[in-house]
A and B are shown apart, each in its own frame.
Chain A
Amino acid sequence: MKHNIYDLFSGYTGELPELKDCPCDTERIKQLVSQKKLKRTRNGAGVPAADTREQGKMFSMAAEKSAAYHGLTGLVEPEPETDEIYILKGVDSNMKKNWRKPAVTAAACLLLVGGVIGGAALLKKSSGNSSAPEDSYYASVADEGEEGRRTVTIGLANINEASAKLISDYNRSQEDYWLEAVNYSQKSGRTLGSSYTDSYAEEFSLLQRDIISGNAPDIIAFDTDNMFTLINKGMFCDMFPFMDEPGGLERVDILPNMLEGFEIDGRLPAIGTEYRIYTAAAKTKFVGNSAENWTVDKFIETAESLPEGMHILNNASFLSWNGAYQDNRQNISYYALLKLMNDCVDRAENTCNFSDPSMISALEYSMSFPDKSNVLNAAELSGGELDSYSMAAQWALLNDRALVGGVYITGLGSYEGQQLWSEFGEDDLTFVGYPSSDGNGAVTEFQLLYGIPESSSNKEGAWDAVSYFISEGNVSKAVLDKQYNTRLTEKDSCIYSKRISWDSAKNTMCSGSGRLITQERIDQLYNYIQTVKVEPYSYGEIDEIIKEEVNYVLGGDCTAKQAAERIQSRCSILLSENS
C-alpha cells in the first residue's frame, strides 16, 4: 500500500493545520526516509536552491523561488549519502509535470494538509495572497506509486480539483495501473478556472494534433461538444464488450436511462459519470397530474388560465438568466425553447425541423410578453426594494404567486431536498419540465465524457479507470440506491407526522427542523431521475444560431416564422455537414 500523508500527522482531524504547529510524527518520517519512501528535495525546476539543498532539511513541499513554502524543516536531519532525490510536483504532476502555475506564483504558503496518496499529496494554498482564492491542489511525490504499474494516460481539457482527486483516488484504489494525466490547458499555456464552463477550442486543437500524430491518450475526457465531434469520426472503441465481461462493472450497474442515452447504434463510444438534470416543476394543484413533461400547447393553455397576479415563472430561479423580476419575452422564450431546440434535431439522421408549429407558437407566445427592458429589473432596484422583491420572488412558488420553478438535480442529496422544500413546501409537485414535443422535459448535462480511443494500446487499463470513474459517479445505480436507502433509514429514525426533518447545518435529513421532505417526494425524485430521457450529445453551434435568430424575433426585427425559416436554413447546413 502507498503511504498516506495522514500517517504523518497523528493528530490530523480534518481541519487545516498550520504546518508549524502540525503534530508531525517525526519517527514515522524518519522511517519513511530510511525506506526511501520520502526523499529530499533537490535543486531543480521550481525548487529554491538555498532553502533546500543547503539546509537539506526539507522533505515534503517545494515551490518555485517566488513562493513561500513550508516543509517539514528541522524535523529530520539530512542524510545526504542515503537520501534519494525527491521533488514534490504540482497538481498536474500527479502526472509528472511541473508545478501548476497558480499554485506557485503567489507568495502564498503551501500547507500540507493531506494525502500522499498513491504518490500524490494534497496541498492547500493559504491566504498568503489575499487576492488569490484559496484553492487545493494535488501533487505527486516523485514517481512513487508508479513502480511496477502499467501507465494509462488520460487527456483532459483542464484539471480541476475534482478531476485531480478522482485520478489520485483511482491510483490509490488499485496497484495495476498508474493513471497519468495529459493536461491540455497547460499544454496550450492557458490558465483556466476550476469550472468546466470555458471554451476548450485551443485544448481540443492540441488534442487533435496528438490524435493525428498517433499520440492520443488512452482515455479522452472532454466536454460533450468536442467528444461528439470525435465520436462522429468513429474514434472511440465500444465499451459494451468490456461491460459484458464477467467480474467488472456491468451494464446493470449504471442507471439504465443514462446508459441508453450514451448508446449510439448499439455501441457505447463514450460515457459521462456525473449528470446534472435541469428541469422545472409546478404544484400539481395548478397543472394537474397529467402535466408531467408538458407540451408547448399544454404550457400555453395553463399559463393563459392563471389567476390574476400570478406569474408563470418563478423569477427567483429564472432571475439569473436575465435579471428581470417579471415574466418577459426573454425568460418565457428561454423556458419555452430550451428543450424544443433539442427536439427539433434528429441527431441520428442529421436533420432538423425548426419549422415545427410548436417552435413557432412558443416564439409567438413569448412575444405576447413585454421586453425585459420594460419590466422590473434587478439592476434598477435600490437595496431595500431589491431585498423585498428578492424575497417575494424567492417565495413566489411557495405562496402560489408563480407557477413554474427551475429544478436542478444531481442525485438524492441534501440540495435537492432543500431546493424543493424551499420552493414548493409540502404541496404535491409535478415535474412539468421544459415544454417538449417528445414527452421529455428535462435537459441533462454532463461536464465530461470519457472515451477510449481505438488506437489505445492499453484498452483494458483505460476501461479499468473509466469503470472506476463510473462507479464513483452519480450515474452509478449503486450510488443512487445508496442515497435512497440512506434517506429511508434516516426517515425511519426520525419520522414526524409523515415528514422528515432536514437539518441543513448537519446535512442530514433527520434532525433539527425547518426543512421538510416527504417520503413521497423522495420516491418521486428517485423515479424521476431514472426515467429522464438522457440526451447528452448536443451541438453548441446550433444553440448559438438559435439564440442569435431568436434575439432578432424578440427584438422585433423579424417574425417567428421568418426566424424559424432562418434557423432551419442554417442548422440544416450544420447538420448535413456531419452526414
Chain B
Amino acid sequence: MISLKGKCGRRGEKIFSYACLIPSIVGVLIFFVVPFGIVVRYSVIKNPVTKEYVGLDNYKALVHNTAFRKAARNTAMFSAISVPLAVVLALGLAVLLERKIPGKSAFRTFFLSPLMVPTASVVLVWQVLFHNHGTVNQVAEMFGGEPVDWLKSTKGQVVIILMFLWKNIGYNMILFMAALSNIPRDMMEVAELEGAGAWYKFFHIKLRYLSPTILFVFILSLINSFKIFREVYLLTGNYPYDKLYMLQHFMNNTFNKLDYQKLSAAAVLFALVMIVIMAVLLILENIFGKDVEN
C-alpha cells in the first residue's frame, strides 16, 4: 500500500516535472530547433522558389567556393593567433595585477575602458591610426621608416589582431582575477610551506584551478573572434582586402545576394565545426581540470 502510494507520488512528480519542462521545451523548439531545422532544409534545396531537393550539392559547391575557403582560412588564422594571445595576455595581466603594485585599480580601469567605447568610435580611432596617412605611418616616417597601407595590404591582420586584443583583454583579465581570488588560500600556504617556487605554484596549482576559467575565457574569446567582422566591416566595407575577408563577410554578403542555400550550408558547416571545437575543449577540460573540481 505504502509502496503503491510512493509509486503514485513519484509518477505525479514526474508528470509535474515534465509539465514544468514543457514551456522550456517549446521555447527551445521554436527558437532553436525549428529554425535550425529550417536552415538545414534550406541547405539541401536548390532555391526557395523551386524548392528542388539537391542533397549535398550546396555543401559541395560551398567547399569548392574560393571565397568561402578564403574566408574560412582567414578566420581560422585570425582565431588561431588572437584567441590564445587574448587568453595568455589576459592571464598574465591578471597575475600581475594580483600582486601589490602601485596604481593597480587605475590599470584595471584602463584595461576595461575599451569595453565602454562604442564600436563606431573605436573604428574611427583605428582608422586615424592606421590609415595610409595615419598616425602610425607618420611616426614610422618620422623615424625613417616606409609607410604601410595597413588596411589594404597583407599586414591588415596585424591591425585587427591588435584591435581584438585591445578590446577583449580587459574583460578576460577581470574573469581571471575573479578566478585567481577563488583559489583556496590554504593550498597556496601549504605549497609555500613546502618550499614551492613561484613558477611551480603557478603551473601546478594556479593553472590547475584556473582550467575551467581558461576554458570559459577561451570559448568566449573564440566567439568574440568571430565578431571581429563588425570592426572589419566598418573599417573596410563588404569587400575588404584579401587577408581581412572573414567568414562573417561571406555570410553577410551571401545573405544580401539572396543565396540562402549557400548561406545555410555555410551555417550548418560552421555549426558542426564549432561543435567539434567545443567538444574537444570540454574533453580537454575534463581531463585536466576534473581532479581540481572534485
Contact surface of A with B, Cβ cutoff 8 Å: 208, 211-212, 216, 229-230, 232-235, 453-455, 541, 545, 552, 557-558, 562, 566, 569-574, 576-579
Tell me whether A557 and B49 are in contact (CB under 8 A): no
With contact pairs A234-B47, A569-B242, A570-B239 given, residues A577 and B257 touching in the complex (Cβ less than 8 Å) = yes
Chain B residues whose CB sits within 8 angstroms of the CB of A216 once the complex forms: 49
Question: Contacts A573-B242, A576-B67: A558 and B149 contacting too (C-beta < 8 A)?
Answer: yes
CB of A375 to closest CB in B, whole Å: 24
CA distance A463 to B43 in the complex (A): 31
Say whether B258 contacts A573, CB under 8 Å: no
Given contacts A233-B49, A455-B50, A573-B70, 18 further A-B contacts (CB under 8 A): A208-B258, A211-B258, A232-B257, A234-B47, A453-B49, A454-B49, A454-B50, A455-B49, A541-B239, A557-B132, A558-B132, A577-B65, A577-B250, A577-B254, A578-B257, A579-B64, A579-B65, A579-B66
Q: Which chain A positions have C-beta within 8 A of B258?
A: 208, 211, 229-230, 233
**Residue on A with the closest CB to B49?**
A455
Contact with A along B222-258 (1 / 0, CB 8 A): 0000000000000000111110010001100110011
- List A contacts of B249 (CB < 8 A): 573
Choose from B49, B133, B241 the contact partner of A569 (Cβ within 8 Å). B241
Known: A229-B257, A578-B257. A235 touches B239 (CB 8 A): no
The reply to whether B65 and A235 form a contact with Cβ atoms under 8 Å apart is no
Q: Kindly provide the distance from the CB of A221 to the nearest chain B CB, expressed in whole angstroms.
A: 17
Q: How far is the CA of A48 from the CA of B158 in the complex (A)?
A: 66
Residue pairs across A and B with Cβ atoms less than 8 A apart, 26 shown, are: A208-B258, A212-B260, A216-B49, A232-B259, A233-B47, A233-B259, A235-B47, A235-B49, A453-B49, A454-B49, A454-B50, A541-B238, A545-B239, A557-B133, A562-B149, A570-B242, A572-B66, A573-B239, A573-B242, A573-B245, A573-B249, A576-B67, A577-B67, A577-B253, A577-B254, A579-B64
Complex alpha-carbon distance, A398 and B192, angstroms: 98
The minimal Cβ–Cβ distance linking B38 to chain A, given in whole angstroms, is 11
**Can you list the 7 inter-chain pairs with the closest CB atoms, starting with the nearest?**
A576-B66, A576-B67, A577-B67, A569-B242, A455-B49, A570-B239, A212-B48
CA distance A235 to B261 in the complex (A): 13
Q: Nearest chain B CB to A71's CB is how many angstroms away? A: 45
User: In the assembled complex, how far is the CB of residue B150 from the closest CB belonging to chain A, in whole angstroms?
Assistant: 13
Which chain B residues border A208 with CB–CB below 8 Å? 258
Residue of chain A at shortest CB distance from B249: A573
Give complex CA distance A552, B132 in Å: 10
**Is B152 close to A, CB under 8 A?**
yes
Report the nearest A residue to B260, measured CB to CB: A212
In contact, B257 and A566 (Cβ under 8 angstroms): no
| B46 close to chain A: CB less than 8 A | yes
- Find A576's partner among B48, B65, B132, B260 (CB 8 Å cutoff): B65
Known contacts being A566-B152, A570-B241, A573-B242, is A211 close to B67, with CB within 8 Å?
Answer: no
CA distance A572 to B259 in the complex (A): 18
- The binding surface of chain A is classed by DSSP as helix
CB distance from A409 to the nearest CB of B (A): 32
Query: What DSSP secondary structure best describes chain B's contact surface?
Result: loop
Q: Is the CB of B70 within 8 A of A576?
A: yes
Chain B residues, CB < 8 A from A578? 257
For A235, list chain B residues within 8 Å (CB).
47, 49
> Is there an interface contact between B50 and A571, defined as CB atoms closer than 8 Å?
no
**Residues from chain A with Cβ under 8 Å of B47 in the complex:** 233-235
Given A569-B241, A576-B67, A577-B257, verify A211-B48 contact (CB < 8 Å). Answer: yes
B49 contacts A571, C-beta separation under 8 Å: no
Contacts of A212 in B (CB 8 A): 48, 260
A234 with B46: CB separation less than 8 A: yes
Task: Fill in one digit per residue for B29-70: 1 if any A CB lies within 8 Å of its CB, else 0.
Answer: 000000000000000001111100000000000001111001
B154 nearest in chain A by CB position? A569
B-side contacts of A552, CB under 8 Å: 132
Q: Distance in Å from the Cβ of A148 to the closest Cβ of chain B?
A: 29
CA A212 – CA B255 in complex, angstroms?
13
Q: Find chain B residues with CB under 8 A from A230 CB.
A: 258
> In the complex, which residue of chain A has the Cβ closest to the Cβ of B132?
A557
| Most B Cβ at <10 Å: residue of A558, A574, A576 | A576
A178 to chain B, nearest CB (A): 23
Residues of A within 8 A of B259 (CB): 232-233
Chain A positions within 8 Å of B133 at CB level: 557
CA distance A455 to B49 in the complex (A): 6
Known: A234-B46, A455-B50, A558-B149. A570 touches B250 (CB 8 A): no
Residues of A within 8 A of B260 (CB): 212
Q: Separation in Å of the B151 CB from the closest CB of chain A?
A: 10
Chain A's closest residue to B240 (CB) is: A570
Measured between alpha carbons, how far is A235 from B132 in the docked complex, in Å?
43
A449 to B221, CA, bound (A): 47
Chain A contacts of B250 at CB under 8 A?
577
Q: Which residue of B lies closest to A570 (CB)?
A: B239
What is the distance, in angstroms, from B133's C-beta to the closest C-beta of chain A? 8
Question: What residue of chain B has the Cβ atom nearest to residue A563's Cβ?
Answer: B152
CA distance A562 to B240 in the complex (A): 15
User: Shortest CB–CB separation between residue A436 and chain B, in angstroms?
Assistant: 25
Cα-based distance from A574 to B238 in the complex (angstroms): 9
Chain A neighbourhood of B65, CB < 8 A? 576-577, 579
